[in-house]
Amino acid sequence: MTTKVKPVLLCVLDGWGLRKEREANAILQAATPNVDFFDERFPHTKLETSGLAVGLPEGQMGNSEVGHTNLGAGRIVYQDLVRINRAIEDGSFYRDPVICAAIRKAKENGRALHLMGLVSPGGVHSLQAHLEATIRMAEREGVARIFVHAFLDGRDTPPKSALGYVEELVRFLDREAPHTKVATVIGRYFAMDRDQRWDRVMVAYEAMVRGVGHGVAGPVEGVKEAYARGETDEFVSPSVCKDASGVPVGLIRDGDSVFFFNFRSDRAREITQLLAFDRAPEGVDRGARPQLSFFATMTEYKADFGLPVAFPPDQPAEILPQLVSEKGLRQLRCAETEKYAHVTFFFNGGREVVFPGEERILVPSPREVKTYDEKPEMSAREVTDKLVAAVESKQYGLIVCNFANPDMVGHTGLMEPTKKAIEVVDECLGRLYRSCAKVGMAMMVTADHGNAEQMVDPVTGEPHTAHTLLPVPFWLLDSDFRGAKLGDGILADVAPTVLQVMGLAKPAEMKGRGLVRG
């Protein structure tokens, strides 16, 4: 390593936001002696993580994908949500060749068009307006049978809000879409797993392909009956809409065309693997899949899928990991399973690439629990063990890590487990700080978005399980910068700050500003 380059550990606390009020704030209610020490002794500031500051629509909450993309890029990266919204506004969406092809295949073959995805205004994985625009296209082009497979949210929206969104969709269909019906209603716990829990994903597959699930007269009834069973949106077991004869109205069959309208990739990959490819994942007894005429996705879920994509990746150049690599420095990414894609794929600008000198450590997330309130420590201590060894090896110019606990436990809406999660992360931060101080490595601590600081919805009084619009902290922990003045900023300012501290030049493509202002 070149001696003039100061090594940096960038630590992302997933879901750790700033909020002054102590009430319903798991972060302020937790014991955090190390973070308190950082506040007292080192320069710190706050960063905006939502809306236009990260390339999302104004007022749209940030998320881990968006956050890590901006962190690595050093500029505002306009997100797929904004790109799609703009295409709908200027009319180019309705001419998109991939969406047009999905519609044309169904029409030419006299088969059904299936539109699958998260029916939610959450804006993290999908947007209900995108589904409506696609339905308008298909209806206008004369497709005779259009079916919606509605996945329910409850994580990026309140846990019992899906009924209203499904009712809104049904009203839209009644008003504008005489050839469109909702075929299935499924909680995202089943349809949108990302940790290879294939037993869950197969539940969604069996509902859409074979009609296995609660038979219901319509989607609204499906959600109401799920609530009566005590299920909240995320965990709604599949309901299959049936006609008066008890026959499912819209199973996915041979020759049909499918368009998956989610724009976020990580939770769309597994159900896509089951539906779009002949070879089933290892150990999964799927049986014969429907031989579809066409399967397309809103965005690229995985480069080697090779599927038609309506909005291909917009990948920024001259990003932080690329620059570190070009300087001949070694870099390490480390996270547990739940956030591993974020410190690798998303931090690398949405690229399926490992830069020269880049190493990765994946620590498995706990699989023995259904939800992480049952194990709020998750794998944070194991991640920290790996990081301490890496820091003290003095081999890396840049280390990027993520602690998933505040976000993943915060999503449960349960205060006590989330406080425990915060305390474990604080403990881990203390260990990392001491290791960095010992070897002369600068440590930066920030977050990608808020969550754990708002555990109760202030309007409804219900558990708050979604991300927030609040800013996040940024600490610069290094003796050389103890008296530095930091300006407020956005996530895009973090990469330029890393370069500032390392002593490396910022390229013109990086529009973010270094946070060290004096």
Chunked mean pLDDT (size 10), the chain, 518 residues = 81 99 99 99 98 92 96 94 94 98 98 98 93 99 99 95 98 98 99 97 98 98 98 98 98 99 97 96 94 98 96 92 98 98 96 96 97 98 99 99 99 98 99 99 99 97 96 98 96 99 96 95
Which of left, alpha, beta for 413 (phi over 0: left; psi -120 to 50: alpha)? left
Instruction: Please tell me whether residue 129 adopts helix, strand or coil conformation.
Output: helix
Partners of 456 in the β-ladder? 463
Residue with tokens 């092809």: 101
SS3 content of the chain, % helix, strand, coil (to 5): 40, 20, 45
Instruction: Note if 126 is an active site residue.
Output: no
Q: Residue 311 CA to chain centroid, in angstroms? A: 17
User: Nearest Cα to 153, choosing from 180, 131, 175?
Assistant: 131
The reported pLDDT for the residue numbered 1 is 45
Q: Give the pair of three-digit tokens for residue 448.
A: 């990608």
> Where is the binding site for substrate, in residues?
125, 155-156, 188, 194, 264-267, 339
**Residues 415, 455: contact at Cβ < 8 Å?**
yes
User: Nearest Cα to 196, choosing from 271, 261, 279?
Assistant: 271
Q: What is the C-alpha to C-alpha distance for residues 464 and 210, in angstroms, rounded to an integer?
A: 35
**Residues 309, 102: contact at Cβ < 8 Å?**
no
The reported pLDDT for the residue numbered 351 is 87
- pLDDT digits over 247-299, tens only? 999 999 999 999 999 999 999 999 999 999 999 999 999 999 999 999 999 99
Distance set, CA 430 to CA 100, 118, 420, 441, 445 (Å) = 54, 39, 16, 14, 11
Biggest CA–CA distance in the chain, Å, is: 76
Query: Considering 64, 237, 239, 365, which one is annotated as catalytic?
Result: 64
Q: What is the C-alpha to C-alpha distance for residues 15 and 451, in angstroms, rounded to an integer?
A: 5
Q: What is the C-alpha to C-alpha distance for residues 332 and 502, in angstroms, rounded to an integer?
A: 15
The reported pLDDT for the residue numbered 2 is 44
The reported pLDDT for the residue numbered 315 is 84
> Where is the binding site, in residues?
14, 64, 125, 155-156, 188, 194, 264-267, 339, 407, 411, 448-449, 467
The amino acid that residue 329 corresponds to is L
**Residues 476, 444: contact at Cβ < 8 Å?**
yes
**Residues 191, 151: contact at Cβ < 8 Å?**
yes
Q: What is the C-alpha to C-alpha distance for residues 346 and 77, in angstroms, rounded to an integer?
A: 11
Residue with tokens 């270094």: 514
Domains and CATH numbers, the chain: 12-78+314-502 (3.40.720.10), 81-311 (3.40.1450.10)
Partners of 336 in the β-ladder? 363
